[in-house]
Amino acid sequence: MLTPSLHSSPSPTVHRSDLRGDCSRCFALCCTAFGFTRSSDFAEDKPAGSPCRHLDAPFSCTIHETLSSRGFRGCTVFDCFGAGQVVSQQLFAGVSWRDRPETRDRMFSAFAVVKELHEMMWHLLEAQQRTYDPDIADDARELVESLASLTRRSVDELESLEIGGIRASVRPVLLEVSAEVRASYFADDEGMDPDLVPGADLAGTDLRGHRLCGADLRNALLIGADLRGCDLAGADLLGADLRGARVEDADLSLALYLTGPQLAAAHGNRRTGVPTGVPVPRSWSSE
């Protein structure tokens, strides 16, 4: 497996707008490449590599407007971070897996890798913007450029990448910026709740009234947690599980490393503050 140098091969500047999915230019890769098991998020089983039975000929979902009510909430919170159109249009030159079935497995494999790279770029772009240290900003920018260059490699090279090693190269920058931003909210003083730690199991916990500014909630389990009206400025939410969390009237606008899928999995409303560039879930408009 290949673990490339991530401080070389500069590529054109990447913006967050480049990391947003464009389903009109994708061959429904999220509806085919990944599998799912019947659960509260999916109404039925689907093996990986097989098209969803609700996928039509033009690569559109026939139940898109009613996914949640039909038991496919998991589909509504998925985001490929723009990997779908890159794989479909760039790596495979706009020729679909239906037109060339022999490319199916390689296309799906490439999609999974590019999605990982794009998600890392999404977080690094935020780190670049949020840091106060110009040297760290340069490190983040160089990593983004190098990751972007990887997405332009051949499919064989993509399949040989050691994603774990790449994550290990990205992680220190994200952590350093997190510590820096959280410290600006005095997160290292004695007033922080000792239960608010990375990976904490806070499922169903009522966190209203807790001091959450600058909290390190990375990878925390926040399923069904009550965050209504809370201020999460500077809180690190990288990988936090927000399924069913109550974030109505909460201010998440300055939270760190928050993604669209995390928001879409939570219950918010029009008064919930959302970070710039992160899409507001459509379901919140009526709440």
Report whether pLDDT(10) > 60. no
CB atoms within 10 A of CB 57: 6
22 shares a domain with 161: yes
Q: For 139-193, write each residue's pLDDT tens digit.
A: 999 999 999 999 999 999 999 999 999 999 999 999 999 999 999 987 665 667 8
> Considering the chain, what percentage of its residues have pLDDT values greater than 90?
87
Q: 72 near 30, Cβ under 8 Å?
A: no
Q: Which amino acid is at 22?
A: D
Q: For 231-273, write each residue's pLDDT tens digit.
A: 999 999 999 999 999 999 999 999 999 999 999 999 999 999 9
176 shares a domain with 272: no
pLDDT at 123: 98
Q: Which of 146, 181, 216 is the last residue of a domain?
A: 181
pLDDT at 181: 96
Residue 149 lies in a domain: yes
Q: Which of 136, 163, 181 is the last residue of a domain?
A: 181
DSSP state of 86: I
Q: 84 near 21, Cβ under 8 Å?
A: yes
Residue 102 lies in a domain: yes
211 shares a domain with 147: no
Q: Which of 181, 196, 222 is the last residue of a domain?
A: 181
